[in-house]
Amino acid sequence: MRVLVTGGAGFIGSHIAEFYAKNGDDVTVFDNLSRDNLLGKGYGNINYNWNYLGGFERIKRIKGDVTNFEETKNVAKDNDVIIHVAAQTAVTASLTAPQTDFATNALGTFNVLEAARISETNPAIVYTSTNKVYGDNINRAKVVEGANRYAFDETFKSGVSEDFSIDRCEHTPYGCSKLAGDLYAQDYSKTYGLKTGVFRMSCIYGTRQFGVEDQGWVAWFTIATLTEKPITLYGDGKQVRDILYVEDLVRAFDSFIQRNTALSGEVFNIGGGAENTISLLELIALLEQLTGKRSPISYRDWRPSDQKVYVSNISKARQALEWTPKVNPMEGVKKLVNWVSKNKSLFN
């Protein structure tokens, strides 16, 4: 199988590329290595995943930009599968640079879909959407407050499912640009018969994740704890997310790809689900348990459209993809702690 991974030098993309290369497939990674520029900060190791993937014979690396249609069309033309991961990924950066966010996420996704439409191979396409498409509507769901966490009340105790409203609320520019791609991916299936699958992802975490304060919070808290940097909590730290280890996510994508004709145009909420939730305060406590360290914590105001609780209802993915998360937060965070511990010099 020929697999194209846009944004393949990023955290999730690098795991997808590795998975298919190890599976014996021919993988092309297409990335403009812009993560640090887009976020306005990073660790100066933008080439780390790129270089890591260079060690795989079956991975071809191409530097290029999904906002450039000609480049995207050329790289997309001969593939059986396209996994579109390239994006501007931070809500905060979308608020200060909405035009770049729109170009990267909305136009970039449109270009990938359009390139797939005119390709002669009729590829299966995975689009990596986000829980942020539900925007502030999530905050209308009732929550109950515990000592260290919020939780949905009974109504949403199994989490948020795919039919939850996306309308009539604030989303932030990131939520809008990702939703534009989400709707286009669905529509290109309905209108042109493209074999697209939309995955509205909650928090994904794992090794090779260069988390910063604005994006990738599980990795950021781990890095901060191990490198003894302070952590700022926006809000009260009781926010809860269902977290999913990256290798579990990749298995879900692969399951869709195996069934792409039957599931074309479908949307899946995907995360750790109700059994794999953690609050910010609980993660800090878990990291202290695992490392014996605790970063100094300070508190600031809530950030725009932050969701007090987001938990994916993963019933549809479980059933249609015959998939279930295998790595729980304790195991997954341990793997991340081990990786950061071995690579501390990357985070100075």
Question: Which residues would be at the binding site for ligand NAD (CB under 6 A)?
Answer: 6-7, 9-13, 31-35, 38, 65-67, 85-87, 89, 104, 108, 128, 130, 178, 201, 203-204, 216
Please, which residue, 33 or 294, has the CB nearer to ligand NAD?
A: 33
Please, which residue, 70 or 228, has the CB nearer to ligand NAD?
A: 70
Q: Classify each residue of 214-231 as buried b or exposed e, where b means 16 or more C-beta atoms within 10 Å of its C-beta.
A: bbbbbbbbbbbbbbeeeb
User: Given CA atoms 225, 228, 234, 235 in this order, what sign does their dihedral have?
Assistant: positive
How far apart, in whole angstroms, are the C-alpha atoms of residue 186 and residue 193? 10
How far apart, in whole angstroms, are the C-alpha atoms of residue 250 and residue 238? 28
CB 129 within 8 A of CB 85: no
Please, which residue, 293 or 303, has the CB nearer to ligand NAD?
A: 303
Residue nearest to ligand NAD (CB): 10
Catalytic annotation present for 174 = yes
CB of 179 to ligand NAD, least distance (A): 11
Ordered alpha helix ranges (H), the chain: 11-22, 35-39, 48-53, 69-76, 91-96, 98-101, 108-118, 172-192, 217-226, 246-258, 280-291, 315-320, 329-342
Residue with tokens 């942020």: 132
CB of 197 to ligand NAD, least distance (A): 14
Please, which residue, 61 or 318, has the CB nearer to ligand NAD?
A: 61
Say what angle helices 172-192 and 108-118 make with each other, to 10 degrees: 10
CB of 268 to ligand NAD, least distance (A): 12
* Residue among 20, 127, 174, 205 flagged as catalytic: 174
CB of 292 to ligand NAD, least distance (A): 27
Catalytic residues: 174
